[in-house]
Amino acid sequence: MLSSLDLVDAHTHLVGGRLGARGLHDILLYHMAVSELYAAGCPSGARLTQFPGWPDRAEAHARIREALPFLGAVRNTHISWGIRTLLRDLYGWTEPVTEANWLRLDDLIRERADDRRWQREVLARAGIRRVCTEWARRGQGEEDDLCAYALEWAFFTRCQWGEYDTALYELERCWGKTPESPTPIGAGGRPQPERVIRTRADLEAAVEHYVKAIPADRIVSTATHISTDLDLDPVSDRRLDAALRRRARAGEAERSLYAAAVNERFLTALARHAPHVVFQFSYGAEPLPFETGSRLSQRSIAQVGAMIARHPGLRFQCFLASQHANQSLCTLARELPNLTLVGAWWHTFYPPILRTLIEERLDMLPMNRHIAFFSDAYCVEWAYAKAFLVRQQMAAVLQAKIEQGQYDRALAETVARAVLCENAAGLLRG
């Protein structure tokens, strides 16, 4: 039944005109797979060259060769199941990837890299009728009939490893500019911005520019991250002024003051200029040297609830990476009509956690108040794999509810249609 239903993919990183994998590296070394290989002993834990650049053949092949000895150690994981599934279903490949055959598989994938008809066929086979991707990845609008767009530009409330003024820097690099890609996780050295925030007036002018530069008539959401390490309670002007003067020696306290001040001003301005734009945020994953670890504090959950309550004219959507916070967020969504929970992000995209998230949300929330799927995919092959994996776990949850008499088959199908497609289509104008 689930395989016959359409999906809306509420969050991806697909690139207009280049929807498919550029080679085996885009499948085998998807960032979630890289983390598993690194844990198994592979020397490299960093992502490959990121957009707007692309890994050249030399980089891609070097990283694949480096990973090959560790593929056997990760065959047990959920992500590896996804890799095997998409290689089998889309490329007819059923062999283990080895030193002897990987170049042949790489060539097979590269043959389809520029075949836009094939890439759309992959989405059709996945049952994905519409996707949301980054505005900066729109290309020349080649996929506008297929895509809705989210603005990922500055991340004011995301911590970076070893930094304490990230919120100000993120705002500075956008001041006077037009939307582009966000700063990558673990970006390291920072280019000097053209304009520097020294005063509260500077900060407010930069926020105003940022919001007015948003292509509000072309996007459905603005996507960011909220760090559990930040104190996001509102900041007085006096405390902000003092914190700005301490920027050169900023620490954890200043980091929170900057983020809270910028975020509140941004949300207030967004409500004034573009209240129809959904504020999407990922939550529950914090920086490590390469990627992130899953953790959340109860204080942070309380502050996020208060933030959403302070802005009733905006709609908020949460991508959750922490299983233990799901029940808390469900209770918030029951009392905050402008909060929606969406899918499973990074560290919650594993069968037992997926089933828990799906089941708790179905039991605690009305069926029109959450979205069950987004892929976070960088190529259509991974959107296909994640759609398959989510359907598997949702089928298990629905079957259990039918067997215990809570649902009949008709109700199960009605619920599935709502959370897989109809809610996203409405909430994201899909």
DSSP per-residue codes, 216-245: TTT-SEEEEEE-TTS--S---HHHHHHHHH
- Is 123 among the domain residues? yes
| Euclidean distance between CA atoms 55 and 337, whole angstroms | 43
CA angle 129, 132, 137 (to 5 degrees): 125
Q: Please report whether residue 390 resides in a domain.
A: yes
- 8-state DSSP, 272: H
Same domain, 102 and 135: no
Instruction: Give start and end residues of each alpha helix (H) in 214-350.
Output: 237-245, 252-273, 298-310, 326-335
Pair (217, 341) in one structural domain:
yes
Tell me if 237 is assigned to some domain: yes
Whether 284 contacts 323, CB under 8 Å: no
Question: What's residue 427's pLDDT?
Answer: 84
Decide if 7 is inside a domain. Answer: no
Residue 299 shares a structural domain with residue 399 = yes
Q: What is the CATH number of the domain that holds 300?
A: 3.20.20.140
If asked whether residues 237 and 140 sit together in one domain, one would say: yes
Number of compact structural domains in the chain: 2
Mark whether 241 and 373 lie in a shared domain.
yes
| pTM of the entire predicted model | 0.95
H or E segment to which residue 388 belongs: helix 380-403
From CA 419, how far away is CA 424, in angstroms rounded? Answer: 7
Question: What count of residues does the chain have?
Answer: 430
169 lies in the same domain as 292: yes
Give per-10-residue mean pLDDT for the chain (430 aa). 95 96 98 97 95 93 98 98 98 97 98 96 97 95 96 93 92 93 70 94 97 95 96 96 97 97 98 96 91 93 97 97 96 97 96 98 96 97 98 98 98 97 82
Range of the domain at 70: 21-111
Are both 63 and 147 inside the same structural domain?
Answer: no
Does any domain span residue 1?
no
pLDDT at site 188: 62
Q: Are residues 156 and 182 in the same domain?
A: yes
pLDDT the model gives residue 198: 97
Looking at the structure, tell me whether residues 55 and 84 fall in a common domain. yes
Distance (Å, rounded) from C-alpha 204 to C-alpha 37? 44
* Domain stops at, among 54, 85, 111: 111
Q: Please report whether residue 423 resides in a domain.
A: yes
Q: Which of 54, 77, 111 is the last residue of a domain?
A: 111
Residue 215 shares a structural domain with residue 289:
yes
Q: Point out the domain boundary residue: 85, 111, 137.
A: 111
Same domain for 163 and 69? no
Same-domain check for residues 280 and 170: yes
Residue carrying structure tokens 């309550």 = 309
